[in-house]
Amino acid sequence: FCGLKDKQAVTTQWFSLPLPPKHPPHTDPDWFAALPNGVRVVRWAPHRKKIRRGIHQGNRFTLVIHGVTGEDAGFDHRLATLNQHGFPNYFAEQRFGHQGGNYNLLHKIAAIPAEQSASISRADRNWGLSTLRAELFNHCLSQRLAQRSDVLAQVGDLAQLAGSHSRFLVTVEELARTQTRLGEGDVALTGPLWGEGASPAGGDIGLNEAVIAHQIMAQLGRENTPTYWPQHLAAWRVEHDRRLLRAPLSDLQSTWLDVADGRQLQLSFTLDAGAYATALLRELIDLSPDSGKA
């Protein structure tokens, strides 16, 4: 399958499962009968290739928020702005495990000497790496937002072409043109998914990312030092990657419904693979437990 889905959601996605070579083409596979309650096959078809993680282009969401209280005259305007310019592409709380449990895994890994990196299970390594990189990215994104530079190109930025993963380093000569292309939606700025060695970004951008990486790896490292994490990254040959600072969305629709227990807000939209619907929600409504409102 392409990726994990929300535990509480009703989801539809493709899975790939082995099929005997001579299986009759119009006969349901035997494992249909073994599916658990609540799982239904909508459609199936033979295919030559197995689905790989992360190859899907995006996800379509329909969310219903119950018990909405309060009035917001600027809600529709904010909705239109997000639809046009996207939203901060934070890794949401799901990435960090139930009640932040993945941080415990990071400290567990950090307690293992770097020369014993090979002893860490693949599952722990993958979850640990994804949590570490997400934490680091979120801090870099928060800094850019605080500086109001998430949509302001700087020398040393790595910009990504819209609709592709092609990137280029922003130079002094290209700075003005890149800013124009940002406004046109032709390119977008990226933040770090940390790996082995120095950041591929340049100038002050690369330096700031390196400072944040050092701080985060120290906080989550062994005995409050960053030493082990860079060594683990090197031992596992983890390559640097990038993630958009702002997540684009499309097909955004909103509907207000008056029901017995108050108002409901229904939102429908499409996000690229890897973007979180809850990160969009935080830009629209207050879902904090102590707020007394949604």
User: Would you please indicate which residues are annotated as catalytic (active-site) residues?
Assistant: 6
Taking CA atoms, 124 is separated from 99, 118, 198, 221, in Å, by 17, 11, 24, 15
**Helix axis angle, 203-219 relative to 122-146, nearest 10°?**
130
* Core vs surface per residue 22-56: b (16+ CB within 10 A) or e: eeeeeeebeeeeeeeeeeeeeeeeeeeeebeeeeb
Residue 261 CA neighbour count, 13 Å, CB half: 8
Euclidean distance between the first and the last CA atom of the chain, given in angstroms as a whole number: 33
**The two structure tokens encoding residue 66:** 């119950």
